[in-house]
């Protein structure tokens, strides 16, 4: 590391940042997901295990980043890209397993689109985090990003629901409506779990819609303000 004599602190090199503990966890997540998706149709149980472990590690990298003072922009981007790509791949698989598959492709587009708009609007506003929504007029939007437990519940609900749908499919082409109906009739526990997960999933999709609209407004207002200055 190079010495910063003016502050007496050590400035990390590029290699140091790449080898931060949370970033290494990010690389491990990517590797687990690659293996998981490679075997998803051959071994559903192992796929689900690897995918969910990778998802759990998403919380660990943030913990270690704060604990060892290894917060980095690269790590934040790596974390978000890994999350979005992992979910996108799972939704793409579900679109091939279930009919109508267009539902899952729409969810994929909404997930990526809303987060991309939110990230870009964050830069336009000069904020340091896309989770800084204290000035939002939507109480649900503020509650989602302002309460880690609530946000965690919604995120976990989505991922677990998608994994459950994958495990419930007995053939490669299934009717989503019939699979859900059979699962609900089969057991009240399964019905209750699907209902709970569905609530968290639905909340997150609503937040994604609010997020996209709010971020789009920021982009439009940015252009309008620039026109006024000319």
Query: Are 200 and 157 a contacting pair, CB within 8 Å?
Result: yes
Return mean pLDDT, the chain. 91
Q: How far apart are CA 11 and CA 24, in angstroms?
A: 19
Q: Which residue in the list 58, 83, 132, 135 is annotated as catalytic?
A: 83
Per-residue pLDDT averaged across 25-41, rounded? 96
pTM, full prediction: 0.89
pLDDT the model gives residue 171: 75
Tens-place pLDDT, residues 84-120:
999 999 999 999 999 999 999 999 999 999 999 999 9
pLDDT the model gives residue 62: 83
Q: What angle do CA 57, 36, 173 make, to 5 degrees?
A: 125
58 annotated active-site: no
pLDDT the model gives residue 127: 87
Q: How far apart are CA 226 and CA 4, in angstroms?
A: 39
Domain count, the chain: 1
Per-residue pLDDT averaged across 202-212, rounded? 97
Residue 9's pLDDT band, with cuts at 50, 70 and 90, is: low
DSSP the chain: -EEETTTTEEEP-HHHHHT-HHHHHHHHHHHHHHHHHHSTTT-HHHHHHHHHHHHHHHHHHHHHHHHTT---HHHHHHHHHHHHHHHHHHHHHHHHHEESTHHHHHHHHHHHHHHHHHHHHHHHHT-S-TT--TT-S-HHHHHHHH-HHHHHHHHHHHHHHHHHHHHH--SSSEEHHHHHHHHHHH-HHHHHHHHHHHHHHHHHHHHHHHHHHHHHHHHHHHHHHHHHH-
CATH number, residue 113: 1.20.120
Which domain covers residue 191, as residue numbers?
Answer: 2-229
Residue 211's pLDDT band, with cuts at 50, 70 and 90, is: very high
Residue from 56, 53, 64 nearest 20 by CA: 64
Per-residue pLDDT averaged across 191-209, rounded? 97
Query: Are 17 and 23 a contacting pair, CB within 8 Å?
Result: yes
């Amino acid at each position: 590391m190079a010495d910063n004599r003016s502050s007496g602190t050590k400035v990390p090199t590029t290699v140091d940042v790449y080898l931060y503990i949370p970033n290494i966890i990010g690389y491990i997540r990517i590797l687990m997901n690659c293996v998981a998706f490679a075997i998803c149709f051959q071994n559903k149980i192992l796929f689900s295990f690897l995918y969910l472990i990778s998802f759990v590690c998403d919380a660990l990298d943030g913990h270690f980043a704060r604990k060892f003072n290894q917060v980095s922009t690269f790590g934040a981007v790596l974390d978000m890209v890994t999350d979005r790509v992992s979910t996108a791949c799972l939704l793409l698989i579900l679109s091939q397993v279930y009919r109508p598959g267009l539902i899952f492709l729409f969810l994929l587009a909404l997930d990526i689109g809303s987060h991309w708009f939110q990230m870009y609007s964050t830069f336009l506003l000069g904020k340091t985090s896309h989770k800084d929504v204290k000035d939002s007029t939507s109480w649900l939007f503020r509650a989602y990003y302002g309460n880690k437990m609530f946000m965690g519940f919604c995120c976990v609900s989505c991922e677990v629901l998608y994994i459950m749908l994958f495990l419930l499919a007995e053939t490669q082409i299934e009717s989503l409506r019939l699979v859900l109906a059979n699962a609900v009739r089969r057991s009240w526990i399964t019905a209750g779990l699907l209902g709970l997960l569905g609530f968290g999933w639905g909340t997150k999709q609503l937040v994604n819609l609010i997020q996209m609209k709010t971020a789009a407004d920021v982009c439009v207002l940015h252009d309008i303000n620039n026109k006024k200055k000319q």
